[in-house]
Structure 1
């Protein structure tokens, strides 16, 4: 929550802070809220979640049935008891965020080399740099591996193993015959299916079974079998829809506790990692970048203490369990 709060503030001011030569990046940041729908059985846990969020400065609220109808008039509520809603939450265009950071970093003098890294160069217990796939080497006393789903594989080639697997996730974009009255928050159904507006159309996805694979294909039948039935039940407008397109991406899924692995690897001086986010990397990215910068430059965290997410927590049996992964 601390990471998310920090990152939210960064995204709110991203265009102004990353302005270069009068050009402000447009990251498509829309604060339409997050809404988690709950059955009667789920409500006690949601109340605990809300109290924890309040203690950490998150302005979330429990909604009753009438409140839900106020947000989504078309909602089927017969099997719901309420929901947990945070109006501050939202979504953005991750690619535009990346390009905004790149442009500003270059403005400050950073050099980008667009080549695949094939190997880490380590001598004894000291990081020496990386070897690129084209055979060139880049020497450096500090290397940060933030390779996402590919990061653990690169690390394993150097004999350093992390419990991270590439896990595909699909998103489906569709149009419905009868439009909704309101723009939707990102809404999570008790079934694990989620949906929200994307422009004037809709996108949806679901909690797919974990499978280790670099699979970027999307399957129309997965929408028809796993997503459409819960959608049509929850909002009758979704009974008649047309799939516009779909796409797939890869989670760097941490199989141990579903949270990021951040910090210096204890046995290799100068080797830092930031991966294993399991799907909430963009939500935490600015805070992680800030913390990693402090750790490398000053040897300690100052803004947010990220030490609970240290790589050695697994050997120390100090896991940071995250259950809300979809």
Structure 2
């Protein structure tokens, strides 16, 4: 097996796979290798994510990335066909619903103006219309809601596996070893070294290590503001069934819930310390989430907690937005990380954008230059008010 490549990607989750796929599709002819320490993807963030896909952001760069990715996911099953059969990713275009109270309504009024300008098809509903749209919920504290019809969710693991099958078909290498550090020489990336001491060389190294990307970058003296942050999801079964399938619904408290076949998936971002923690706190559901659910709908008063799982955000603790691009202090070193919970939905766009930057030295399809790592030095932060 050769130890020399033209481009090495650290990580083989959805960001790395999207990048590798786009590089090949866009005409890159160099040899590519993806390094992944978790060959079963047991702790990978991709299969542990909820798979939400939405366009309802407040900044142009995130909306543009969402619009591009949405179109990719709509055609994904056909595009990722393998051995004559379409991929199956269970893309459920059931929409996103944002319940608004007096406090959140002014924020969304500004967001809606930006979304309308950029062609996002969101619809505002007053309190009465919201009740008609979702009869089972309590709307007494609400002034209305916003519905995004071109949104929903897909199965993250199926999407990842479809990418992997396709890029394997293209001859791209997967090496299931843990990367210890990035090798550098005279302020240039020259490869990686694994934990067992093996060295692999390439003039381009991409850090797509997700929650581990901050620690990896720090090993070569280049701090990026990314830390692992645990999030929890719970699957419940209600005794009373809802009349219609529940869209991806966000409560003013920050809690969210949606249908998943005959069950309901629920999540809420509570304050936890940074770290590689996969412990599921059922008490958090029972003591914090359940009362809020029951207050929103009597259908949640009697339920059974079926199961739950945790996953890690690659959390950008400065402005909670992606980092995409090369590092100005290290030639050949690129980063795609820090998505802070919207990585799955932006993966097609991020892979496309970074592919263009690596091949052409510029962004063409969409300008994501505002997401460069330099913004933390210049304090030109990307402030996204529609973060969930």
User: Do the structures match in fold with TM over 0.5?
Assistant: yes
* CA distance in structure 2 between the partners assigned to 1:298 and 1:124 by the alignment: 24
Query: In the TM superposition, what are the counterparts of 1:89-238 in structure 2 within 5 Å?
Result: 89-238=151-300
| 2:336 aligned counterpart, secondary structure | strand
C-alpha deviation, 1:76, in angstroms = 0.3
* CA distance in structure 2 between the partners assigned to 1:175 and 1:84 by the alignment: 26
Between stretches 37-46 and 309-318, larger displacement belongs to 37-46
C-alpha deviation, 1:37, in angstroms = 0.5
Deviations 1:73-130 (A, max 9, x none): 1110111110111011111111111111111111111111111111100111111111
C-alpha deviation, 1:207, in angstroms = 2.1
Q: Which has the higher contact order (CA 8 A, sep 6+)?
A: 2
Unaligned 5+ residue runs, structure 1?
none
Q: RMSD of the TM alignment (CA)? A: 1.0
* CA distance in structure 2 between the partners assigned to 1:32 and 1:15 by the alignment: 17
- Contact 2:73-2:91 at 8 Å conserved across structures: yes
Q: How many residues align?
A: 326
- Contact 1:148-1:275 at 8 Å conserved across structures: yes
* CA distance in structure 2 between the partners assigned to 1:173 and 1:258 by the alignment: 26
- Contact 1:206-1:226 at 8 Å conserved across structures: no
Q: Which residue of 1 aligns with 2:340?
A: 278
Unaligned 5+ residue runs, structure 2?
1-62
TM-score normalised according to structure 1 size: 0.98
- Contact 2:232-2:269 at 8 Å conserved across structures: no
| 2:184 aligned counterpart, secondary structure | strand
* CA distance in structure 2 between the partners assigned to 1:142 and 1:174 by the alignment: 45
* CA distance in structure 2 between the partners assigned to 1:41 and 1:149 by the alignment: 32
Query: In the TM superposition, what are the counterparts of 1:24-43 in structure 2 within 5 Å?
Result: 24-43=86-105
- Contact 2:205-2:332 at 8 Å conserved across structures: yes
Q: Which residue of 1 aligns with 2:316?
A: 254
Q: Which residue of 2 aligns with 1:55?
A: 117
Question: Moved runs in structure 1, 4+ residues, more than 4 A?
Answer: none
* CA distance in structure 2 between the partners assigned to 1:45 and 1:250 by the alignment: 28
- Contact 1:71-1:184 at 8 Å conserved across structures: no
* One of 293, 300, 303 as aligned partner of 1:241: 303
| 2:104 aligned counterpart, secondary structure | helix
C-alpha deviation, 1:71, in angstroms = 2.4
* CA distance in structure 2 between the partners assigned to 1:282 and 1:122 by the alignment: 30
C-alpha deviation, 1:133, in angstroms = 1.9
Deviations 1:134-167 (A, max 9, x none): 2212111011111110011011111111111111
* CA distance in structure 1 between the partners assigned to 2:168 and 2:350 by the alignment: 20
| 1:250 aligned counterpart, secondary structure | strand
* One of 357, 363, 376 as aligned partner of 1:301: 363
Q: Does 1:75 align with 2:122?
A: no
C-alpha deviation, 1:44, in angstroms = 2.3
Q: Does 1:292 align with 2:374?
A: no
- Contact 1:166-1:211 at 8 Å conserved across structures: no
C-alpha deviation, 1:36, in angstroms = 0.8
- Contact 1:37-1:189 at 8 Å conserved across structures: yes
| 1:290 aligned counterpart, secondary structure | helix
